[in-house]
Amino acid sequence: MENGRLQTTDPTQLQRLLRERTADLQRVKAEYDNYRKRVHRDRMAVREIAAANVLRAVLPVLDAVDRTCAHEPMSPGLRDITDTCRTQLGSLGLQAFGEEGDAFDPACHDALTHHVAPGADRLICTKILRPGYRLGDQLLRPAHVEVTGPPSPARNLLADDHREHEDGTDRDSARPRPLGPIGPGHGDPGTVA
Q: What is the pLDDT of residue 44?
A: 93
Per-residue pLDDT of the chain (193 residues; tens, 9 = 90+): 556 566 677 889 989 999 999 999 999 999 999 999 999 999 999 999 999 999 999 999 999 999 999 898 989 999 999 999 999 999 999 999 999 999 999 999 999 999 998 888 899 999 999 999 999 889 999 999 999 998 876 654 444 444 444 444 444 444 444 444 444 444 444 444 3
Q: Do residues 98 and 127 lie in contact, with contact meaning Cβ atoms separated by under 8 Å?
A: no
Question: CA 36, CA 49: separation in Å to the nearest integer?
Answer: 20
Which residues are bridge partners to 110 per DSSP?
144
